[in-house]
Structure 1
Amino acid sequence: MPDPTPHELPTVVLEAAAPTSRRLVLNRRGSTVWDVETDRGRYAAKVGYPIEATSEWPAQEWTARAPGREGAILRHLGVEVTYGEWERGTWNVQPWREGTSLYDLWEPCRAQRAAKEPDPGDALSCAQAVAALHSKGWAHGDIQPAHLIVGQDGTELIDLALAHGGLIPDVYDFRFPGCLVHYEAPEISKSVLATGYAVPTMEADVYALGASLFISATGWRAVAYPDDAPRAVQRQAVVDGPHRPVNVAGPLGKVIEAMLGPAPGDRPTSAEVCRALSS
């Protein structure tokens, strides 16, 4: 559940961004995101803070560090970003990514599956964005349809706070706690169940991209489990498998099937996915 009252932009963020206008776009446990207009252009401003314990979930501190960690990662990747700390956590201000999420873009495929098939060009664009990140030595760790923003000039990967591949300042760093289970590879779910943590990998990113393409095309999670199942039950279902039949027509379905391979070595690389979709 989101906090009933979203956090306002802290003074330090207002001073850094100098917005001429701002619009709240996301308010969830542990973070708020604002769309801000400035004299220099349009930016996303993210503010993180700890999640307090309730009867439904434990306390989590890593959410306070996430915007700062993402800022450090974006700096590694050569993206224009400003980031730092405020009294309850960290923040960053980064360029706004214009486009439509993969899930929203393929909504007509889910609503009229007999009449409209997913566009392999969109899938290729998403795979190219993942492959570009991998070519720089980074695994994303949190690929999901909402983080694949398809625009006129290609796909942008957003929300890199959980990425793995380079040195992060200790003040911002934290261990990978897993991601949204719908897109977790079996080996990630298995590690989180056993230890509470995992290590993001490129192989797990390929699985997550396959699961993202599948749910965006069909409306179904790759692995079946009850909607209200606890996270541990969800993860055990992912570990135990198998995934649902990939009922996506044509070559795209075959590529998704390969991406959802149960073992990391069974899956194509992101570059191989791009070659398969290009052909």
Structure 2
Amino acid sequence: MTDSTTVHPATVLPGIPPQANAPSEGRSEVEQLAGTPATWTLKTDRGDTTVWQVTGPIGQWALKIGRGEGAAVVGREAEVLSSISTTVPTMSYGARAKSGRTPTSAWLITPWLDGPSTWEVFRTVRDGRPDRQDALAAAVDLAAAVGSMHQNGWVHGDVQPHHAIHMRGGVRLIGCSWSWNMQLSPSYAFHGGLMHLMSPELIARVESGQRPLGPSQPDETYALAAGLWWAATNSWPLDYAQLGIDPGKFTAKALREVLMRRWPPLGRISQWPQLEEVLRPVLTTGPRERPPALQLAQWLRALPA
């Protein structure tokens, strides 16, 4: 499995500096923060959403732009950051965020977070190398970060190994467009998140047509464990082969319908069975019995590297 994000440098024509291809949305604001001349690098491009790394003499920033349907998603993330940055330490970078709207787009500027994602840290595990110390530390930090959010009354909404950046000052959670709490209601645009990290009960709520759909803290602990399983194995936790299907050939809705009828068993983490022993209870218990994220962090902390 690979991340759906397309990562590549900005397209630069011969003789034309990178900033010549820079977008107009948020450009003056981000160049004021970064300083000029600024170097622009297109880091992700999902069609309706792009993320630029803007580096200048006085700073390095991320500019996310949403157009079309992506505008609502980026606008929602800006709203979340303005509400959460002072209450959740792992989102504190949002206190420096700037945002804006045009008739057809929304943009968001945040400090560039310099560090590897959980997915990147787990590369040694996926490669079968014996050094797991950094991966284990990253797993503990991610679980503790999610647990801290929960303690502060928030649900992230899209926990996955690509949405945590590990920095010297601690982990920072990104991709928070679907975050919610009692003061900021769930978004009507949310449809469950990454299919293979969804708990059985969240899938049932999606299929029931319930809207708005807010993932619960137990849903999120499931996604946390499932995401760590994925990061360690490069495969989904559920063993779809036991159902005789290739999940890549199904739409999300069709796959949800299959799982509503029959839930497959888990696969294996053969290269790190101790991690499997910790994650398996999280993925096989119901929401009332499922341990919270902070409990998972404690279990992970006790694992030998």
Q: Could you tell me the TM-score, scaled by structure 2's length?
A: 0.76
Instruction: Indicate conservation of the 8 Å contact 1:31/1:49, yes or no.
Output: yes
Partner amino acid, structure 1, of 2:227: S
Q: CA deviation at 1:156?
A: 1.8
Q: Could you tell me which of 203, 209, 221 is aligned with 1:189?
A: 203
Compared with structure 1, are the counterparts of its residues 169 and 257 closer, same or farther at alpha carbon in structure 2 (3 Å cutoff)?
Answer: closer
Relative to structure 1, is the Cα distance of residues 147 and 243 closer, same or farther in structure 2, using a 3 angstrom cutoff? farther
In structure 1, runs of 5+ residues without a counterpart are 51-60
| Bigger CA radius of gyration | 2
Q: Secondary structure at the match of 1:43?
A: strand
Indicate the residue corresponding to 1:24 in structure 2: 42
Q: What's the CA shift for 1:196?
A: 6.8
SS in 1 for 2:153: coil
* TM norm structure 1: 0.83
**Residue in 1 that maps onto 2:27:** 14
1: CA distance, partners of 2:258 / 2:132: 29
From the superposition, tell whether residues 169 and 68 of structure 1 become closer, same or farther in structure 2 (CA, over 3 Å).
farther
Query: Hey, what does 1:73 align to over in structure 2?
Result: 80
What does residue 176 of structure 2 align with? Answer: 160
Aligned residue pairs, count:
263
CA shift, 1:74, in A, is 1.0
**Where do 1:246-265 residues align within 5 Å?**
246-247=268-269, 249=272, 251-265=274-288
Alignment of 1:140-219 (within 5 A): 140-168=156-184, 174-195=188-209, 197=211, 198-219=213-234
Q: Of 19, 32, 35, which aligns to 2:53? A: 35
Q: Give the Cα separation in 1 of the matches to 2:22 and 2:153.
A: 33
Per-residue deviation, 1:266: 2.6
In the alignment, structure 1 residue 122 sits paired with structure 2 residue 144: no
1:43 partner letter: W
Among 240, 251, 269, the alignment partner of 2:292 is 269
Q: Superposition RMSD on alpha carbons, in Å?
A: 2.8
Cα distance 1:39–1:68, how it changes in 2: closer, same or farther (>3 A)? Answer: farther
Give the structure 2 partner of residue 236 of structure 1: 257
1:24: how far off?
A: 0.4
1:53 alignment counterpart? none
Distance 2:229 2:5 in 1: 27
Identity across the alignment (%): 25
* Partners of 1:9 and 1:47 within 8 A in 2: no
Specify whether residues 22 and 29 from structure 1 end up closer, same or farther in structure 2 by C-alpha distance, changes over 3 A only.
same
Contact 1:147 1:158 in 2 (8 A): yes
Distance in 1 between the 2:65 and 2:52 partners?
Answer: 9
- Of the three residues 252, 267, 289, the one matched with 1:245 is 267
Question: What aligned pairs does 1:39-58 form with structure 2 within 5 A after superposition?
Answer: 40-50=58-68
For residue 222 of structure 1, give the secondary structure of its aligned residue in structure 2: coil
- Equivalent residue, structure 1, for 2:91: none
Aligned CA distance change for structure 1 residues 188 and 89 (closer, same or farther; 3 Å): farther
Shift of 1:27: 0.4
Mapped partners of 2:82, 2:168: distance in 1: 24
Going from structure 1 to structure 2, the CA distance change for 1:116 and 1:238 (only over 3 Å counts) comes to farther
